[in-house]
Amino acid sequence: MVKEQNYLEKKAAYCLDLAKKLGATNSSVIVSNSITETVNFRNKKLDESNRSDNLGINITTYIDHKKSSISSSNLLDHNLKVLIEKCIETTKNTPEDEFNSLPDKKLLAKEIKDLNLFDNTHLENDKKIEYLKQLEESASYNEKIINTESSFSEDKSSFILANSIGFCEGYKSSSFTASCVAVAKEDKSMERDYEYTNKCHLEDIKSAENLGKISAELTMKKLNPQKIGSEKISIIFDKRIAKGILSTFASAISSSAVSRGTTFLKDKINDRVFSDNINVFDKPDILKGLGSKSFDLEGVKSETLDLVKQGVLKSYLVDTYNGRKLNLKSNGRCGGISNLYFDNGKVSYKDLLNSNSRALYITETIGHGSNIVTGDYSVGATGFLIENGEFKYPINEFTIAGNFKDMFQNITLANDLEFEYAINSPTMMIEGMVVAGK
């Protein structure tokens, strides 16, 4: 079992008291414990099983506007004393930065909601093995499937965040993750694809049979791919790929990127950056949400943000340090987003497929081709050719490219949003992208 909250609180209080005695004008501490158990299968046989137990502490001390941090996995009082002494000494020799400070006390979370993020259920290893056996049997139902790899992971975590201006809160969380990769072969064609499920509660993950079947079906659909020529065409992104576009958007509106001037969305608040039917939310209070939280890594209250409203950018993701640089208040996003999503579109999935006589449906992208400084986007991709709303055949070895400034203005979203991940998007179509093929 992970450490109880009172144990973590005592360690945090010890550090705060000692830091103050040694000369810190302010300090903050994060004490955390996580236990992860993982079982891996390969070709229906147990490959490995491992368990990790991580206990750690991160201490930050301030002397006026000087700041330094130190971390350790040794929580014995003697070691913590040495750590804090070193941290204080380092702080004294660190240059001042006028923006260094703890958050505004008025912004700290006062009420910690129970978001139902912890499932005390423990799945013994023999049960994990049984799940993976069923999964791989399901994935291997067709003779075209020649290889499978699967994994089941259970994680339990607990943490406390405390600082010298009176904040001391934390909570437990859990996650259960299962995944399956399948390899299929037919004639001279060999392809792979995957499926996975990740939830806070064990009862909410996909069944082994369903997960394995989906993985196999996705893989077999990719067999015997054809090539495509270079052209300008509408691109439809599968939901699990579309969320990557949203992830890049989050990076581009982080206050750190804005304060450094390294994003194409700098100085764009209240500008129309998407088409007028697009809304983007970051909602931290979804029950059982994978990104849910009541406060950020500084203790600042996290509330729902309407990041984009009818295409207009309304807010950045702001932490204390970069917020002070930008003359903005923190909105509880130190450490990033919570549950980020595009709101549902107005057309059905079927109508989206039928909206063009010819389009490409993207199921996988290759490479990290997003440049948030310029907005340029270029990635390798695989997927399917769609004609008159029907999937014709798989295609591979092509590149799709564009610039987010244009791409964001040409997005159409289906109404099939599901909350499967911490970042979620309906199926997305972007018109007029450049494809470079054979």
Give me the CATH number covering residue 138: 3.30.2290.10
Q: What are phi and psi of 3, to 5 degrees?
A: -60, 145
Segment (H or E) for 221: helix 208-221
Helix (H, G, I), strand (E, B) or coil at 27: strand
Contact yes or no for 415/344 (Cβ under 8 A): yes
- Map tokens 């203790």 to a residue: 299
If asked whether residues 271 and 191 sit together in one domain, one would say: no
User: Does 428 reside within a domain?
Assistant: yes
What pLDDT score was predicted for residue 437? 84
Q: What is the pLDDT of residue 369?
A: 87
Domain end residue (candidates: 221, 250, 273): 221
pLDDT of residue 37: 97
Question: Are residue 181 and residue 327 in the same domain, yes or no?
Answer: no
Regarding whether 238 and 216 lie in a shared domain, the answer is no
Residue 163: give the domain boundaries: 5-221
How many C-beta neighbours within 10 Å does residue 242 have? 24
| 328, part of any domain | yes
- pLDDT of 401 reads 95
Would the CA dihedral through 326, 332, 333, 339 be positive or negative? Answer: negative
Within a domain: residue 288?
Answer: yes
Asked whether residue 226 is assigned to any structural domain, the reply reads: no
> Domain count of the chain?
2
Which residues, listed in sequence order, are joined to residue 308 by a DSSP beta bridge? Answer: 280, 313
- Residue pair 8/30 in contact by the 8 Å Cβ criterion: no
Residue 128: φ, ψ to 5° = -60, -45
- Domain membership flag for residue 197: yes
H or E element: which one contains 428?
strand 428-436
Domain end residue (candidates: 221, 249, 264): 221
Distance CA 422, CA 383 (A): 24
Q: Do 174 and 257 belong together in one domain?
A: no
End residue of a domain, out of 221, 251, 285: 221
Q: CA 140, CA 212: separation in Å to the nearest integer? A: 8
Q: 431 to each of 234, 355, 356, how far by Cα in Å?
A: 4, 10, 9
**Distance in angstroms (rounded) separating the CA atoms of residues 295 and 342:** 22
Query: Does some domain include residue 242?
Result: yes
Q: Please check whether residues 134 and 186 belong to one and the same domain.
A: yes
Residue 57 shares a structural domain with residue 10 = yes
Confirm if 424 and 357 have CB atoms less than 8 A apart: no
Angle between helices 125-139 and 208-221 (to 10 degrees): 30
Distance in angstroms (rounded) separating the CA atoms of residues 171 and 292 = 12
Residue 245 sits in the same domain as residue 217: no
Look at residue 421 and tell me if it is in a domain: yes
Q: What is the dihedral of CA 249, 252, 253, 257, to 10 degrees?
A: 160
Assign 99 to helix, strand or coil.
coil
User: Across-strand partners of 300?
Assistant: 108
Q: Does residue 12 belong to any structural domain of this protein?
A: yes
How much is the pLDDT for 339?
A: 98
CB 262 within 8 Å of CB 373: yes
List the chain pLDDT tens, one digit each, 438 residues.
888 999 999 999 999 999 999 999 999 999 999 999 999 999 999 999 999 999 999 999 999 999 999 999 999 999 999 999 999 999 999 999 999 999 999 999 998 999 999 999 999 999 999 999 999 999 999 999 999 999 999 999 999 999 999 999 999 999 999 999 999 999 889 999 999 999 999 999 999 999 999 999 999 999 999 999 999 999 999 999 999 999 999 999 999 999 999 999 999 999 999 999 999 999 999 999 999 999 999 999 999 999 999 999 999 999 999 999 999 999 999 999 999 999 999 999 999 999 999 999 999 999 888 999 999 999 999 999 999 999 999 999 999 999 999 999 999 999 999 999 999 999 999 998 999 987
Roughly how many angstroms between the first and final C-alpha of the chain, as a whole number? 55
Q: Give the CB-side neighbour count of residue 287, counting CA atoms within 13 A.
A: 3
Domain match, 189 and 313 both: no
- What is the model's pLDDT at position 178? 98
Same domain as 305, residue 181: no
Nearest Cα to Cα of residue 31 among 67, 62, 61, 3: 3
Same domain, 268 and 385: yes
- 239 and 354 housed in the same domain: yes
Whether residues 101 and 170 fall in one domain: yes
User: E-strand spans in 97-166?
Assistant: 145-163
